[in-house]
Amino acid sequence: MGKHDEPKDNEPTMNPFIIDSQSPYFLRPSDLLGAIIITVRLNGINYNMWEQAVRTTLKAINKLAFIDGELSRPENKDGKQIAGVNTWDMVNSTITSWIVNMIDLKQMLE
């Protein structure tokens, strides 16, 4: 489809998905998958302290909505929300990586 072409009836139109720095979808260049965003690591006996540290940090960086159920994965029933779904998946995967990096797996498996 060219720049000035109208979408055909059988072609899905993409809704713009714009992310600004105040959006929970916004990832800073320093938000790496391997990042450790808190120094407290879950070790099996410190859950309350670990949870509070995780919640406080995710709230500070505007990502708490991903884990507290406030921001659910968008539906893509008509194919028009693919950008939003892909972005949600990307940010959610980043947060999941951070959480995994905050768990002392060796200690948890003993």
Tell me what pLDDT residue 53 has.
96
Q: So where are the chain's domains?
A: 47-71+78-109
H/E run at residue 93: helix 82-101
Q: pLDDT tens per residue, the chain (110 residues)? A: 444 445 455 555 555 667 888 999 999 888 888 888 999 999 989 999 999 999 999 999 999 999 999 999 999 888 878 888 999 999 999 999 999 999 998 876 76
Structural tokens at position 110: 């003993």
**Beta strand residue intervals within 19-110, DSSP E:** none
* pTM of the shown model: 0.78
- Measuring CA to CA, which residue among 110, 94, 75 is closest to residue 24? 94
At 45, phi and psi to the nearest 5?
A: -120, -5
Tell me what pLDDT residue 1 has.
42
- Residue 96: what residue type? T
Tell me what pLDDT residue 8 has.
53
Cα separation, 58 vs 23, whole angstroms: 13
Assign residue 79 a region (left: φ > 0; alpha: ψ between -120 and 50; beta: otherwise). left
Cα separation, 110 vs 108, whole angstroms: 6
